[in-house]
Structure 1
Amino acid sequence: MSDDADRRRVRAAALRVGAWVGAASAATIVVGVAILLGVLSATARAERDEPPWGDALVVDVDDVVPVVVLLGVLGVLLVAGIAALAARRAAAPLGEALRAQRTFVADASHELRTPLTALSTRIQLIQRRHARGEPFEAELARLRADADAMDDVLTDLLLAAEDAAAPDRSASVAAAMHEAEALLAPLAERRGIALDVRVHAPVAARVAPATLVRMLVALLDNALQHAPEGSAVTVTADADGGQVALRVADHGAGIPVAEHERIFERFASAEGEGRRRGFGIGLALVRQASERAGGSVRIERSSPAGTVMLLRLPRA
């Protein structure tokens, strides 16, 4: 959201508070005057010695003063209550903006964690090869690609935060899978886990390329975190009618059936047999991005032998 839009929201909130308080004050004064006149009329009595200019009414001050004081106190309380209610309602959009800001910061921090870790790992690899006098030009090129991937992630997150569409709404599934594989290769190598990418059909998905890479990285990163060392993580792509079906399979400890939906909530975690599976917000972001694209993500199956995540997206 732009600065101008934020300023307009603040001005609109201030105007709403002013309008509510002004209307409440006017209503309180009118009602108070009406009640006061009614009390005066009820407590007044005719003057015994009528003045030459006509009828006169006498009001006992002792009877009226308590009513006036009570009306004043009630009026102040009423206006204060209405002002508090108006301020609360007017500030609601500002609270939503603050929540959106916190959400974006949390999402960006999470989504950049994996690329930064891969970047750091690749830099360490370059340093070791340089120290041994080995060629490292290919790793330097990949380092630049990793930096570009981080830029794509930030751009995609900004577009998602503003609920705006990316200019390119068609992604090559094979290219996105290989991009995610290359990004996570240093992490997989460090843990002794093989990444197996299988594209069974040359298909395209109706989603921005950066978004597809981001979803695949999150699913693969989750699988790598929980796959045992020396095992393999497999990602496959198939055409399924008007959709693309992408599956990410690991050989971890599995996820209990009762946790199959909860793990897609923000900051949720689940426990598998023998080890803890922490999910944070990665899978929640995958579900959010897939549903925004008209797709879905779920656990297709899970057992002590491993877990298969199924991501479905519309075909382009």
Structure 2
Amino acid sequence: MFPAPEARWHYRRSLASRVTLLTTIAVGIAVAVLSAGVYITARIQLQSQLDDSLEDRAHATAKEFRYSGNISLPKYLANASDVQLYRIAAGEGGTGPPLNETDLPLEADDPEIAVAAGELDLSVRTLVVNGEERRVVAVPIVDGEALVIAESLDDQREVLARLGGVSLLFGLLGVLGAGIAGWGVARNGLRPVRRLTTAVEQIARTEELDPLPVEGADEVARLATAFNGMLASLSASRDRQRRLVTDAGHELRTPLTSLRTNVDLLTQADHDQKAIDPQARVELLDDIRAQIDELTTLIGDLTELARDEPLAPVVGEIDLSEVVEMAAARVRRRAIDVTFDVVTDRWFVVGEAGSLERAVTNLLDNAAKWSPSGGRVTVRLGAGDGVGVLTVDDQGPGIPEDQREKVFDRFWRTEESRSMPGSGLGLSIVRQVVERHSGSVTATESTSGGARLVLVLPGRPDA
């Protein structure tokens, strides 16, 4: 599914430009909201102040009129020259036309007439008089009459217009400054990312897995640390691969050389038409067959060791006791001069049956190989502290304490084992399989002085 065009446009932009754009938009929205709030607040405040001022002037003028009884209303009584004064009266029934000529567009049901009729104590509203908006306040003066004070809203509109212009100007400057600051901060903040990118690209070009320099303890430093961990894992994996190829070449060379020698002998005999003793020919063919078997086993071991992937997601519940019994039966057929004493309790693990059977078979093969003719291999499977414990004891010479960890390394063989069949990969496969199943395997000394290999796997006793 392809991303939308706007998404593709978004990801074509650099991270710095996206940060700058988002910062600018965020600041622009904040400035717009703040400016709107300031404008609305200022408008409400100016309107309230104007209404309070007009009400105070209206009450003062009405009080002066009632005290002097003067029907003429000089503007100085309003303490200002920016207002217009009107005197209106209600007609019969509480409503009627104005008492004096006025340019106020009043109707009989307007609130100013209601104030004159004594129905309201105060009226405040905005009227359009001769095409000009005015704020109009009406208060009663005597029965049936009201005083109306009107002031133009032009000054207020001019103040608000100036405020809007100033807010717009400073808002634009703020947005521009935020964009510049956001670009600078993004560029400066992403400088470590650019250095990290350059280093990673250098690694991709040269394939040199040198660790990256880590500065500070921020998110970029954590990313570099994590990347260094990945580089270390890759380097170790590459080293293991190189060692595996080198050791495999060394191990394959000996059986291949022997196989070629035997084949050359047979070929030379047929070419020279010289008869080979039948017994010698049988021995040569048996030797060739044994070498082919050894190569087959070695290739299988190498294939198993080359599997670096974790446990496959499709697994099943396996009865480990059945795996041990099948492996013991298989090894018995190959090691007929060794006795196997096998006692198992049921223990169920989740994993790959084939891999586990190969690991157990390798353990038993190793024990049978080192046990003397007529010797005994003791196999026990039981539960202990929430894990299944498989113990394999042999009656061989045992493993020196300083070599008990090395026996699980690939192609590692003791001096005594170099003359014996095998590739040195069996126990390496055991450890790899067990670790893939979240278990462990260790080597110690048995009660008879031979080797004891202990395999531990998590699981449960009942299915």
TM-score (ref. length: structure 2): 0.34
Higher relative contact order (CA 8 A, sep 6+): 1
Name which one, 1 or 2, has greater alpha-carbon Rg. 2
TM-score (ref. length: structure 1): 0.49
